Chains A and B, each alone.
Chain A
Amino acid sequence: MSTLTSEAAILAELRCVFRESLGVDPVTPIDPATRFFADLGLGSIDAVVLGEAIQNRSGRRVPFHQLLAELGLRAQRDLEISELIAFLKRHL
């Protein structure tokens, strides 16, 4: 996985990781507004596994536990792909 600096590149990579690691490949492609739980029907355990997959592919340690802790603080526990992209852009 080459250095990802643009959001478009990160999104493309995420679509790949979702498909290969989580078996998620919806008919309507994943875009920044897609919500992890409400739209993709995933759970927080999938966020844990996603974080693991991204670290394995990038070879970089990414502090996913911070993202999960933030998720834990929200009353409506959901995450938009755009937030995930922004988080990865900061840390990759």
Chain B
Amino acid sequence: MPRITANGLNIHVQQAGSGPDVVLIHGLTGDLSIWFLSRTIPVLAETHRVTAYDLRGHGYTDAPAEGYTSLDHARDLIGLLDVLGIARARLVGHSFGAVIAVHAAVIASERVDALVLSDPYFPALRHLEDVSRWGHWQNFRRQAEDAGVTLSSDTWYDLTTFFDQVRQLDDERLLRFRQAVGLPGLKRVLRLAGTTCGRDSKLADGLSAEQIAGVLQPCLALYGANSPFLTTADYLIEHLPDCRGRRIPDAQHRAPEENPEGFVVAVREFLESLQPAENCEVCP
């Protein structure tokens, strides 16, 4: 299993295809398998060299106890690009993966050609959103309640509470919880729960609204048609100098799972609309 060492971590990486570089960044509690399940990798590999990796604390990458802000993850990403010999890449991030992508564009602008931002919410822009609108979360909460785990409704992004509660379940309730919510790989979630990920994911750590709006690269704000974060989508389109929007039908917050075909088509079309990397004279 391909693992490389970057920024002091062993990182699980998968690569395929040839062409301009694109890097896929999954969201919190996920892993790179989503890029296989959704066919993002085989489709983009027709025209790109595609790199997917597991974030620290996730999948088969190391899980240090601390350092889980978007800045920490962005430094891992730049380290990964260095080790893989990738000078510049198009970044495709889902949810917190998109926050990481933006933070990478802020700290290392010369390494990023363009960004696909799939349904992100930003800690610095949290005030824009009314989280109670996320129906999917409400279903998840109901299922968890049936298994004896109460999850808050107003701080749905509060992974700390979720993790704390899951960790305290006895074996029998843990089994019921696993069966109720259908969470595979629960052991991996528990590993993540032992880190500062939940706490750190709420921190802007320098990625302010001003920094976000300062991203000059071409961006696609790609949101599910029924995403709870459409106010954030509109904000990005309005405030970033070169950000267009697109909605994915039949999707809420998890388009790569909910409508993989729609997601992949949107990503591919955006990447194809970009100037070839070598000919780009106006890239920052």
Interface, chain A (partner B; CB < 8 A): 21, 37, 41-49, 52-53, 56, 64-65, 68-69, 71-72, 76-77
The reply to whether B1 and A69 contact each other, CB–CB distance below 8 Å, is no
User: Residue B260 contacts which of A47, A52, A72 (CB distance < 8 angstroms)?
Assistant: A72
| Bound Cα distance A25, B38 (Å) | 29
Contact with A along B38-59 (1 / 0, CB 8 A): 1101100000000000100001
| Bound Cα distance A44, B256 (Å) | 14
User: Is residue B178 within 8 Å, beta carbon to beta carbon, of the partner chain?
Assistant: yes
The reply to whether A45 and B54 contact each other, CB–CB distance below 8 Å, is yes
| Bound Cα distance A19, B33 (Å) | 21
User: Is residue B36 within 8 Å, beta carbon to beta carbon, of the partner chain?
Assistant: yes
Q: Main secondary structure on chain A at its contact with chain B?
A: helix
A49-B60, A68-B33, A72-B260 known; A41-B186 Cβ under 8 A? yes
The reply to whether A41 and B185 contact each other, CB–CB distance below 8 Å, is yes
The reply to whether A43 and B184 contact each other, CB–CB distance below 8 Å, is yes
Residues of A within 8 A of B1 (CB): 21, 49, 52-53, 56
A21-B1, A48-B14, A65-B41 known; A42-B185 Cβ under 8 A? yes
Interface residues of B, CB < 8 Å — how many? 27
User: Is residue B32 within 8 Å, beta carbon to beta carbon, of the partner chain?
Assistant: yes
| Bound Cα distance A42, B31 (Å) | 13
User: Is residue B2 within 8 Å, beta carbon to beta carbon, of the partner chain?
Assistant: yes
Q: Known pairs A43-B31, A48-B14; list 8 more (Cβ under 8 Å).
A: A41-B184, A41-B186, A44-B37, A45-B54, A46-B185, A56-B1, A72-B36, A76-B182
Interface, chain B (partner A; CB < 8 A): 1-2, 12, 14, 16, 31-34, 36-39, 41-42, 54, 59-60, 178, 182, 184-188, 257, 260
Residues of A within 8 A of B182 (CB): 76
The reply to whether A68 and B37 contact each other, CB–CB distance below 8 Å, is yes
Closest CB in chain B relative to A59 CB, distance in Å: 15
A48-B33, A49-B1, A52-B2 known; A69-B185 Cβ under 8 A? no
Residues of A within 8 A of B38 (CB): 72
| Bound Cα distance A53, B1 (Å) | 7
Closest CB in chain A relative to B237 CB, distance in Å: 29
| Bound Cα distance A76, B182 (Å) | 9
**Residue of B2, B14, B36, B187 most packed against chain A (CB within 10 A):** B36
| Bound Cα distance A61, B32 (Å) | 20
| Bound Cα distance A72, B12 (Å) | 21
| Bound Cα distance A45, B54 (Å) | 9
Closest CB in chain A relative to B279 CB, distance in Å: 31
